[in-house]
Amino acid sequence: MKLSREEIKMKLKGWYLAWDKHDLEKVMDLFHEDVFFENWTGAYVKGKNNLRKVWTPWFENHGNFRFLESETFVDELVQKALYRWVLEWPSMEPGYEDKPEIRKGVDVIHFKDGKIINKLTYTKTTLEIDNMRHSLHL
């Protein structure tokens, strides 16, 4: 099953809204059962159920986050999208706990059978707090 460019854009729009509402189950709806997710540290998870287990604590403990779409590129032919985002949330950086923090990154998203099969996340190595850049800590 191949999605049209418009179908990909509509699925991603619903997905962004689910993130905005912090609705983990709606976020998970767009993932393929065999999804491969790699985060910005290089850690990865295989399988939808495993991804849900990994993300559940994050959704429960970091409920005051939001992703803002900077831009999205869609390639219908190869069923891929590039999603550039900004993450705003309370910082966990030492000395800046709970101050507003901004991180910027990109997700490379591959679709298979109308679902996300690969989500590869990349982020800048700096974050912003109080309009100042800081090195990202692992």
pLDDT in tens, 7-65: 999 999 999 999 999 999 999 999 999 999 999 889 999 999 999 999 999 888 876 89
Q: What is the CA radius of gyration of the chain?
A: 15
* DSSP tag of 6: H
CATH number of 5-135: 3.10.450.50
pLDDT per position as a tens digit, 33-44: 999 999 988 999
pTM of the predicted structure, to 2 decimals: 0.90
pLDDT per position as a tens digit, 69-100: 999 999 999 999 999 999 999 988 888 888 99
Q: Say yes or no to pLDDT of 138 above 70.
A: no
Q: Which two tokens stand for residue 8?
A: 């990909």
Sequence length of the chain is 138
Contact present, 95 and 12 (Cβ < 8 Å): no
Contact present, 36 and 117 (Cβ < 8 Å): yes
